[in-house]
Amino acid sequence: MKKLFLGVLTALALAAGGTFAGTLDDVKARGNLLCGVSTGAPGFATVDDSGKDVGFDVDYCRALAAAIFGDPMAVKFVGLTSAVRFTALAAGEVDILARNTTWTYSRDTDLKQTFLGVNYYDGQGFMVKKELGVKSTTELDGATVCIQVGTTTELNLADYFKENGMSYEPVPTADNAESQQQYLAGACDTYTTDASALHGTRVNLENPDDHLVLPEIISKEPLGPLVRHGDDNWADIGRWVLNALVIAEEKGITKANIDSWKDTKDAEIHRLLGTGDDDILAMVGLPKNAMYNAIKAGGNYGEIFENNLGATSGINIERGVNASWTKGGILYSPPFR
Amino acid sequence: MSSPTLPPSESFKFSMLLSDTRYRGMSLQVITFIIFMAVFFWLVDNTIKNLALLDKDVSFNFLWLRAGYDINQRLIPYTSDSTHGMAALVGILNTLLVAFVGCIIATVLGLFVGILRLSKNWIVAKLMSAYIEGFRNVPILLWIVMVFALLTEFTPAPRAFKGAEPEATMLFFESIAITNRGTYFPAPVLAEGAYWLLLCFGLSIVASIYIIRYANKQKKVTGKSLPTFWISVAVIIFPTLILFFAMGQPVSLEYPYLKGFNFKDGIHLRNSFLALTLALAFYTSAFIAEIVRAGIMAVSKGQSEAAASLGLRPNKIMSLIILPQALRVIVPPLISNYLNLTKNSSLAIAVGYMDVRGTLGGITLNQTGRELESMLLLMGFYLAVSLLISSFINYFNRSFQIVVR
């Protein structure tokens, strides 16, 4: 019902008028950032035992809020299902969408969104119960597949099974929790979604060792935050907060040592942390120490990754291609100047 | 001829539009209409302007683009290479299927429950009251999710049927498999000559209708009633049965069997379909039962007493005296319940049933980002279906009403 409601809401929002330029001013006037996140994707956006929002996407939004307000807690998280996320963003329900969303051509152009970059290079995988004895996706002919509606995975799935001449029966579900429940009840043989989400889901199952994420990755899923078309300054802010986190890791700036760079000879670090003479962040309307606050909020990209997806989190996803380019990965930020 | 005396001709004044009762009604309607149209055009204009501001246009071209996603339940051929329009059509047929089957089950159940609630048997009457109050007073969404949960959680997975000593077995001589993915029935397979059989069956039905009509006529003339029920059953069954064996059994059953992950062949009724249809039917039947009860109680008690004093048995009284009169009261509110059932079927997404709301209003909307267009099409569809259903039943209803001469 929520989807329908949002659809109507868009129509009403459109009918009622209102432009979306000047998002930064709106956010400042409101006093907090509205960040659209997943309704429950372990590692990316969940609520911990103490009721606090945690996750990879959550930490990005906290960094953004810290850059704007100097306070990482000045952000309100809005849980969105995969089907309503774009509508909610277009209707102005959220300022930014950080909801493990795949960057695609049609979303960028036809859906009128601006992707700010890639914060996680992912791919679509499959999870099965070990007792099934399946070792590869090529053995899935005739399987019943649980899948979240309104995602790119739905299209990849159709293409992959068609290319390989296999048949399958889709069982559409509304979100990760419902997929998980159907999968555990045996109403589907396999659950498919982004591999990172599968790993995150698996460790939270009762007996993680009874389940297996198959080795094949059937698609490219570059995930990243996005904003709606029409406010380039706002897009620049989001993009450069993301870049700042990546640069910080490259330079070795961490949450713990961030205050010890005052005497460095690296001019880029001074520009980044606002410790130099230049105030280049005024160009986008942010305070001089915005990026300092952003990095201070949850650490650099590497720290955020480790805390939410890596060894510290228990999900144990390897950095792989998501390592910095200096360490063999493909994470590479344009220079901060 | 003397010309009739005309009232003194008054020159028309503009203020008379409001002060003169001859014009006031009309002018108020015109004003209301103008205001209504102004608001309507303002809304449309504003929508278009703001869509332009968002750099979006209104276009239905997406209906002819490749859909790219698969749908599990298809009544017409559809693959991921079909268009979004076809996907919408698949969804429309799925919606109509649920609505059609749901309405039939709801009507039959509602009729029985409604009549039984008036039973003199205390236990039966109370059981039916509990049924009605239980279904009527819990939101339909909860019933749908509840039925679905029962169907998926308490039934065995297909794998449980495997092995030498399986945990679960198929029912009715290995013909029906109830699993947590749906129920599999044997499917009829038509061989050569099967169409003659169908033709024969059709003709038998027509023949039995004529026999019933003839019997009714006879009854009016002679007052004697023929055992029409048994005669028509015999007419429908025997010719087709004889032909079936004479032609060497051209229709066979294809039994579902377990292969790989799932059962193959046979007719597969998915749990999403079963849960949605049953929950909608149970829920709506509770309302229909109350309508039936109201209709029966609206027939004056003297009618049944008079019939009883003529020596009619209770079931004859019900079918000949009470129900025909009660139908006049029952049918009009029945329409709104059929409409409700049809519209409530849009809750299908709760159990992942791919109705038109799930295809056009769900996946297509999401993949193409055409919210406004999809929603307009959806609203148009539900409006059209509702108007069709109500005009059809209104037509039907006219034949029940007392003809006033």
The reply to whether A142 touches chain B by the CB within 8 Å rule is yes
Partner-chain residue, chosen from B80, B259, B369, that has the shortest CB–CB distance to A110: B369
Are the C-beta atoms of A92 and A27 separated by less than 8 Å? no
Q: Which residue has the tokens 């006093």?
A: A31
Give the best residue of B262, B367, B374 to mutate against chain A (max A CB count within 10 A).
Answer: B367
A129: tokens are 């119960």
Partner-chain residue, chosen from A15, A86, A228, that has the shortest CB–CB distance to B47: A15
Q: What pLDDT score was predicted for residue A17?
A: 40
In the sheet with B267-270, reading across from the earlier edge strand, the strands are: B177-179, B182-185, B267-270
Q: Nearest CA of chain A to the CA of B280: how many Å?
A: 16
Are the C-beta atoms of A53 and A37 separated by less than 8 Å? yes
Distance CA B289, CA B140 (A): 16
Distance CA B104, CA A309 (A): 52
CATH topology identical between A2-121+222-315 and A124-219: yes
Are the C-beta atoms of A98 and A37 separated by less than 8 Å? yes
**Percentage of residues in chain A with pLDDT exceeding 90?**
45
Residues on chain B touching A111 (C-beta within 8 angstroms) = 369
Nearest to A198 by CA among A316, A82, A301: A316
Comparing alpha-carbon positions, the chain B residue that sits nearest to A83 is: B366
**Percentage of residues in chain A with pLDDT exceeding 70?**
94
Q: Residue A209 contacts by C-beta under 8 Å, 6 or more apart in sequence?
A: A130
User: In chain A, positions 176-195, which contact chain B (CB-CB < 8 Å)?
Assistant: 178, 182, 185-189
Burial A192-213 (b: 16+ CB within 10 A, else e): bbbbbbbbbbbeeeeeeeebbb
Are the C-beta atoms of B46 and A15 separated by less than 8 Å? yes
Are the C-beta atoms of B344 and B291 separated by less than 8 Å? no
User: In chain A, positions 33-92, which contact chain B (CB-CB < 8 Å)?
Assistant: 82-83, 86-87, 90
Classify domain A124-219 at the CATH topology level.
Answer: D-Maltodextrin-Binding Protein; domain 2 (3.40.190)
B234: tokens are 């015999």
DSSP-derived letter for residue A17 is: -
Residues on chain B touching A143 (C-beta within 8 angstroms) = 260-262
Q: What pLDDT score was predicted for residue A19?
A: 45
CATH of domain A2-121+222-315: 3.40.190.10
Q: Nearest CA of chain B to the CA of A242: how many Å?
A: 25
Q: What pLDDT score was predicted for residue B164?
A: 65
Give the best residue of B371, B372, B377 to mutate against chain A (max A CB count within 10 A).
Answer: B371
Q: In a structure prediction context, what are the per-residue pLDDT tens digits for chain B, which is 405 residues long? A: 555 566 656 677 777 777 888 888 888 899 999 999 999 999 988 888 887 777 777 888 889 988 888 888 888 899 888 999 999 999 999 999 999 999 999 999 999 999 899 888 999 999 999 999 999 999 999 999 899 988 888 887 777 777 666 666 676 666 778 887 888 888 777 777 777 778 888 888 888 888 888 888 888 888 777 777 787 788 878 877 887 777 777 777 777 777 777 777 778 888 889 999 999 999 999 999 999 999 989 988 898 899 999 988 888 888 888 888 888 888 888 888 999 999 999 998 888 888 998 899 888 888 887 888 899 999 999 999 999 988 888 887 787 676 665
> Does residue A57 have a pLDDT over 90?
yes
Residues on chain A touching B46 (C-beta within 8 angstroms) = 14-17
Q: Do B358 and A172 touch (CB under 8 A)?
A: yes
> Does residue A12 have a pLDDT over 80?
no
Residues on chain B touching A184 (C-beta within 8 angstroms) = none
Per domain, the residue ranges of chain A are 2-121+222-315, 124-219
Are the C-beta atoms of A181 and A163 separated by less than 8 Å? no
Q: Residue A96 contacts by C-beta under 8 Å, 6 or more apart in sequence?
A: A33, A34, A35, A36, A61, A64, A89, A225, A226, A227, A238
**What is the interface size between A and B, counted as CB pairs within 8 Å?**
143
Q: What pLDDT score was predicted for residue B6?
A: 60
Q: What pLDDT score was predicted for residue B247?
A: 73
Q: Nearest CA of chain B to the CA of A105: how many Å?
A: 12
The reply to whether A133 touches chain B by the CB within 8 Å rule is no
Q: What is the DSSP string of A276-299?
A: SS--GGGGGT--TTHHHHHHHHH-
Q: Nearest CA of chain B to the CA of A208: how many Å?
A: 20
Q: Nearest CA of chain B to the CA of A317: how many Å?
A: 29
Residue A177: CA count within 13 A, CB half-sphere? 9
Give A234-274 pLDDT, tens digit per residue. 999 999 999 999 999 999 999 999 999 888 888 899 999 98
Task: Enter the pTM of the model.
Answer: 0.77
> Does residue A23 have a pLDDT over 50?
yes
Q: Three-state SS for B23?
A: helix
Residues on chain B touching A89 (C-beta within 8 angstroms) = none
Q: Nearest CA of chain B to the CA of A240: how many Å?
A: 24
> Does residue A13 have a pLDDT over 60?
no
Q: What pLDDT score was predicted for residue B9?
A: 61
